[in-house]
């Protein structure tokens, strides 16, 4: 069976624009969280990713035309840019790695996923569409272009048109917010009954129906020019606002789930398979499993794996809060302590993994951190957010078995631990497999919960600590440990560095939907 090593890694995290800063920050017990204020003043703390695309300008401009940085900045959602920056960092640990990935052609793959997706781009696109749709409907619902509304207002048509009566008239609301909310369904109702809009759409259909004649490329350009010219004249003649379908940014399409992987493949000239694994909070572990499996099956010699998510956004913070898993009292909520809830964070983590006989034997590259042995995966098949005992246990046992590791050999373990009541069950589940003296870490009180990327940050921190022989401190003091959890397990890493014995290590991630991924590794 082929052995797998890590030959490059990079990340973007709160207070950590790169892997070197991340490693330095781990020395401190200080929280990396900061106020959110995404709803105006609020009580949420979040992990804001520290990132600047300008840091990568020189690297990109050495390889691509000068407008490439501008294109990335204008077209890509932040989650994509975080992944791009992390990938570029990952090429720095072993000089020549970039050329090898390119030279491997179809035997180099990219598996970089996302948990939350392009929330900022989708949010802005949805708002732009909402505004454009309202302008459009108001225009066609105007009594001058909608005689049925004029008749209704004059009292000659009491029930509206068709079988359905009109929605409430916005003019009947005193509250200004309710009036604004009523405007959309009101205008949509009457616009749909506008003879003028019907006539306009018939003319527009005739313009859009122009076919391509003759030679395809030349005919395509001619048809496009003709359509655009005639559409402009049509809108000018009707004095119509832009149609709502013309106001949706193409960035919504350019930033679908596979875009981070695709951008990495383009920037790295990696021509093998590139796609996006999506497994919520277990995305990084699942990406690593897929990479290891592809290498061991002989389909790839190297795989860029990882996960990325946008910065904390009102949509993600609000959703997590209403799922009752988010702390909202303005203070840092630490795992294994008060269990008040977690904190949303954003950023990315990207590794380059490869077959050791190729990367070291043929190219002389230096492996990093630890050797990943196996990733066990499972599904709870039970609840969308509350973890089970059986699902994580199955993932843990699978990883240990496939990695050839006896539980008694384990020296340390990193928890998913979200500072919610689920922490207690997770520790109980772990104790059903491992001994009470295994050193346990929980780090979401430091940098928050990056849905997809957080597992990558935690695994990188574990690897960095084991490689130096001492696990980095966590944000938790011994006196803060929840008494119920203290009674279940005896060995935790608190707010001081902790020496670690050589031996295999484990790390569990548990994703929304009940997706579990357990990584088992050993020192190099």
pLDDT tens figures, 497-510: 999 999 999 999 99
User: What mean pLDDT comes out for the span 308-318?
Assistant: 98
246, 263, 281: which is the final residue of a domain?
246
* 445 closest CA partner among 457, 430, 433: 457
**pLDDT over 90 for what percent of the chain?**
92
Whether 88 and 131 map to the same domain: the answer is: no
User: What mean pLDDT comes out for the span 311-332?
Assistant: 97
* Average pLDDT across the chain, whole number: 95
Q: At what angle do helices 119-140 and 176-191 cross, to 10 degrees?
A: 70
Give the confidence band of 255 by pLDDT, cuts at 50, 70, 90. very high
Through-space distance between the first and last CA atoms of the chain, rounded to whole angstroms: 17
Read off the tokens for 182: 């009523």
- What Rg, from alpha-carbon coordinates, does the chain have? 28
The DSSP line for 418-440 is -SSTHHHHHHHHHHTTS-TTSEE
Whether 263 and 237 map to the same domain: the answer is: no
Give the confidence band of 34 by pLDDT, cuts at 50, 70, 90. very high
Is a pLDDT exceeding 80 seen at residue 162?
A: no
- Are 467 and 369 within 8 A, CB to CB? yes
226, 246, 266: which is the final residue of a domain?
246
CA–CA dist 505, 519 (Å, integer)? 8
Whether 216 and 362 map to the same domain: the answer is: no
Whether 508 and 430 map to the same domain: the answer is: yes
* pLDDT of 221: 76
* pLDDT of 331: 96
CA–CA dist 8, 20 (Å, integer)? 12
CA–CA dist 401, 407 (Å, integer)? 9
Whether 404 and 440 map to the same domain: the answer is: yes
Neighbouring residues of 207: CB distance < 8 A, sequence distance ≥ 6? 227, 230, 231, 234
Is a pLDDT exceeding 80 seen at residue 208?
A: yes
Q: Among 77-91, 155-169, 366-380, 458-472, where is mean pLDDT lowest?
A: 155-169
* 81 closest CA partner among 35, 50, 126, 36: 50
45: which strand partners?
35
515: which strand partners?
379, 511
Distance of alpha carbon 48 from the chain centroid = 14
Whether 420 and 328 map to the same domain: the answer is: yes
- Are 376 and 400 within 8 A, CB to CB? yes
Is a pLDDT exceeding 90 seen at residue 141?
A: yes
CATH classification at residue 379: 3.40.47.10
Neighbouring residues of 21: CB distance < 8 A, sequence distance ≥ 6? 15, 50
* pLDDT of 218: 60
Give the confidence band of 154 by pLDDT, cuts at 50, 70, 90. confident
Whether 242 and 270 map to the same domain: the answer is: no
Whether 345 and 225 map to the same domain: the answer is: no
Range of the domain at 91: 4-118+255-523
- Are 194 and 141 within 8 A, CB to CB? yes
Convert 135-163 to b/e letters by CB count within 10 Å (16 or more is b): bbbbbbbbeebbebbeebeeeeeeebbee
* pLDDT of 225: 84
* 460 closest CA partner among 293, 288, 276, 275: 288
Taking residue 242's Cβ as centre, other Cβ atoms within 10 Å add up to: 11
Map 164-220 to HEC letters.
Answer: CCCCCCHHHCCCHHHHHHHHHHHHHHHHCCCHHHHHHHHHHHHHHCCCCCCCHHHHH
Give the confidence band of 214 by pLDDT, cuts at 50, 70, 90. low
Is a pLDDT exceeding 60 seen at residue 67?
A: yes
- Write down the pTM of the prediction: 0.95
Whether 448 and 382 map to the same domain: the answer is: yes
Give the confidence band of 156 by pLDDT, cuts at 50, 70, 90. low
Give the confidence band of 205 by pLDDT, cuts at 50, 70, 90. very high
223, 246, 269: which is the final residue of a domain?
246
Computed from CA positions of residues 451, 470, 94, 85, in that sequence, does the dihedral angle turn out positive or negative? positive
* pLDDT of 209: 85
- Are 213 and 219 within 8 A, CB to CB? yes
* Count of domains forming the chain: 2
Read off the tokens for 113: 């996923």
User: For residue 253, what is the DSSP state?
Assistant: H
* pLDDT of 366: 98
- Are 435 and 411 within 8 A, CB to CB? no
* 451 closest CA partner among 370, 342, 336: 342
* DSSP E strands, 446-488: 449-450, 470-471
Whether 58 and 102 map to the same domain: the answer is: yes
Q: pLDDT, tens digit, for every residue of 400-457?
A: 999 999 999 999 999 999 999 999 999 999 999 999 999 999 999 999 999 999 999 9
Whether 267 and 396 map to the same domain: the answer is: yes
Query: Half-sphere exposure (CA, 13 Å, Cβ side) for 45?
Result: 22
Whether 393 and 274 map to the same domain: the answer is: yes
User: For residue 492, what is the DSSP state?
Assistant: B
Is a pLDDT exceeding 80 seen at residue 217?
A: no
């Amino acid at each position: 069976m082929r052995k797998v090593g890590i030959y490059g890694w990079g990340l973007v995290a709160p207070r950590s624009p790169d892997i070197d800063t991340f490693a330095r920050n781990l020395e401190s017990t200080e929280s990396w969280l900061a106020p959110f204020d995404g709803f105006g003043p609020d009580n949420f703390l979040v992990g804001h990713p520290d990132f600047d695309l300008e840091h990568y300008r020189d690297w990109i401009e050495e390889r691509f035309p000068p407008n490439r940085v501008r294109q990335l900045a204008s077209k890509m959602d932040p989650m994509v840019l975080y992944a791009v920056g992390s990938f570029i960092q990952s090429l720095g640990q072993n000089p020549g790695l970039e050329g090898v990935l390119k030279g491997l052609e179809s035997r180099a793959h990219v598996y970089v996923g996302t948990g939350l997706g392009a929330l900022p781009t989708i949010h802005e696109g949805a708002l732009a569409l909402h505004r454009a749709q309202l302008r459009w409907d108001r225009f066609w619902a105007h009594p001058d272009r909608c005689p049925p509304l004029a008749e209704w207002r004059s009292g000659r048509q009491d029930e509206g048109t068709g079988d359905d009566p009109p929605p409430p008239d916005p003019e009947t609301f005193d509250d200004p917010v309710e009036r604004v909310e009523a405007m959309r369904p009101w205008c949509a109702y009457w616009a749909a009954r506008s003879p003028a809009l019907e006539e306009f759409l018939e003319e527009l259909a005739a313009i859009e129906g122009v076919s391509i004649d003759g030679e395809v490329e030349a005919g395509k350009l001619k048809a496009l020019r003709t359509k655009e010219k005639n559409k402009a004249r049509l809108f000018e003649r009707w004095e119509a606002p832009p149609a709502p379908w013309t106001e949706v940014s193409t960035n919504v399409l350019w930033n679908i789930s596979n875009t981070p992987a695709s951008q990495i493949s383009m920037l790295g000239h990696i021509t093998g398979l590139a796609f996006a694994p999506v497994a919520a909070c277990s995305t990084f572990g699942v990406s690593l499993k897929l990479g290891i499996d592809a290498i061991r099956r002989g389909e790839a010699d190297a795989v860029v794996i990882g996960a990325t998510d946008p910065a904390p956004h009102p949509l993600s913070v609000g959703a997590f809060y209403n799922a009752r898993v988010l702390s909202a009292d303005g203070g840092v909520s630490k795992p294994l302590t008060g269990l008040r809830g977690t904190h949303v964070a954003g950023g990315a983590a990207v590794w380059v993994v490869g077959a050791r006989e190729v990367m070291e034997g043929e190219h002389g590259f230096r492996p990093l951190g630890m050797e990943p042995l196996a990733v066990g995966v499972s599904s709870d098949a039970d609840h969308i957010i509350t973890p089970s005992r059986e699902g994580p246990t199955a993932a843990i046992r699978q990883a240990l078995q496939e990695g050839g590791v006896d539980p008694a050999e384990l020296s340390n373990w990193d928890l998913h631990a979200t500072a919610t009541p689920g922490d207690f069950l997770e520790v109980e589940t772990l104790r059903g497999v491992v001994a009470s003296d295994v050193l346990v870490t929980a780090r979401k009180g430091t940098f928050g919960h990056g849905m997809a990327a957080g597992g990558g940050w935690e695994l990188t921190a574990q690897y960095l600590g084991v490689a130096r022989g001492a696990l980095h401190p966590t944000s938790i003091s011994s006196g803060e440990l929840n008494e119920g959890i203290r009674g279940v397990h005896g060995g935790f890493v608190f707010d001081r560095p902790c020496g670690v014995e050589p031996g295999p290590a484990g790390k569990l991630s548990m994703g929304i939907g009940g997706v579990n991924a357990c990584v088992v590794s050993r020192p190099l």
